[in-house]
Amino acid sequence: MDSRPFFVMTDPGCFNVSYRINPWMNPDDWTPEQAAIACAGSAKLRKALEIAGARVEVIGAVKGLPDLVFPANAATVLDGKVLLARFRHPERQGEEAIFRSVFQRLKARGLVREIIDLSDGLFHEGAGDAIWDHDRGFFWGGFGPRSSRGALSVVRKTFGYEVVPLELATEAFYHLDTCFCPLAGGHVLYYPAAFTPQALAAIHERVPAARRIEATAEEAAALCVNAVNIGSTVIMARAPESLRQKLNARGYELVEVELDPFIRSGGAAYCMTLRLDRTSAPAASILAAE
């Protein structure tokens, strides 16, 4: 059994910004040159993940579904269980069937165990709004702009772990992964202004001040909080120097990738990936144990 962290990414061949479902997106600003930069950025992100010790599988692009490049929104995955997402915006709902068949193929290969549907009438945008905190053993659950609050109890029942609800206060930071990133070792990188007072209180209650790394407005606007963490490596879009210094001071190394075209869609490193091998046990994969 391969014990490397295992990520899915999507071929960026059909990526563009052709509709607007968040304030980052402006179809009028999209140029064909962006598409070429996107392909190079996606390849570099994949390389950075592999250099950090991960294995990456790339799923095919589908014409007319540009946001398929953000597989973090496809599902919540833990312990081999896949809770399929339901998208709030019709523009992305066509991705649901594509991702379902991707997971069915992964299941046939023994790479995930179980595929679970969300109850009717709820929205949930996957790992973008349900972030597993490996050190603390629970999910942080974003809700508001995209995911319904009611979906968080489905996440709790499906996986059997607490989900700490965090209400998102702004349209710009519409998925939890745009403003919140737990790091190995117990630090949390987050952008306080994105949260309601109750959500901030919940974060402060569970993460001691010494473990909180606050992103500035400039760092958050560079979508740097949307980062992939593997061990002490943190992979993200081009970062202001201030963020590099903050992370280095806590013992993390930064790997930066040019992801500007994806930022124009409101996404960056974390949401361009979906991690499939996460287990609630701190030890080896439960799939390996079976």
Contact residues: ligand ARG, CB under 6 A: 21-22, 25, 67, 70, 72-73, 92, 128, 175, 177-178, 226, 265-267, 271
248 token code pair: 């280095």
In angstroms, the CA 151 to CA 241 distance is 37
Instruction: Tell which residue, 271, 228, 252, 269, has the closest CA to residue 53.
Output: 228
Q: Smallest gap, in angstroms, from Cβ of residue 126 to ligand ARG? A: 8
Q: Smallest gap, in angstroms, from Cβ of residue 55 to ligand ARG? A: 21
**Among residues 176 and 285, whose Cβ is nearest to ligand ARG?**
176
Q: Smallest gap, in angstroms, from Cβ of residue 159 to ligand ARG? A: 19
281 token code pair: 């046990």
Ranked by CB distance to ligand ARG, the top (closest) residue is 128
**Among residues 147 and 285, whose Cβ is nearest to ligand ARG?**
147
**Among residues 71 and 80, whose Cβ is nearest to ligand ARG?**
71
Q: Return the C-alpha torsion angle 172, 173, 178, 182, nearest 10.
A: 160
**Among residues 25 and 154, whose Cβ is nearest to ligand ARG?**
25
Task: Reply yes or no on whether 181 is catalytic.
Answer: no
Task: Reply yes or no on whether 14 is catalytic.
Answer: no
Q: Smallest gap, in angstroms, from Cβ of residue 51 to ligand ARG? A: 23
Q: Smallest gap, in angstroms, from Cβ of residue 226 to ligand ARG? A: 6
Contact between 146 and 152 under an 8 Å Cβ cutoff? The reply is: no
Choosing from 179, 181, 224, 271, the catalytic residue is 271
Choosing from 124, 134, 175, 187, the catalytic residue is 175
Contact between 214 and 240 under an 8 Å Cβ cutoff? The reply is: no
Angle formed at CA 74 by CA 115 and CA 24, multiple of 5 degrees: 165
**Among residues 72 and 169, whose Cβ is nearest to ligand ARG?**
72
Full DSSP string of 65-124: -GGGG-GGGTEEEETTEEEE-B-SSHHHHTHHHHHHHHHHHHHHTTS--EEEPPPTT--B
Instruction: Tell which residue, 135, 210, 128, 134, has the closest CA to residue 166.
Output: 128
Instruction: Tell which residue, 290, 249, 277, has the closest CA to residue 81.
Output: 277
Q: Is 150 helix (H, G, I), strand (E, B) or coil?
A: coil
**Among residues 67 and 133, whose Cβ is nearest to ligand ARG?**
67
Q: Smallest gap, in angstroms, from Cβ of residue 130 to ligand ARG? A: 11
265 token code pair: 């869609």
Catalytic positions are 175, 271
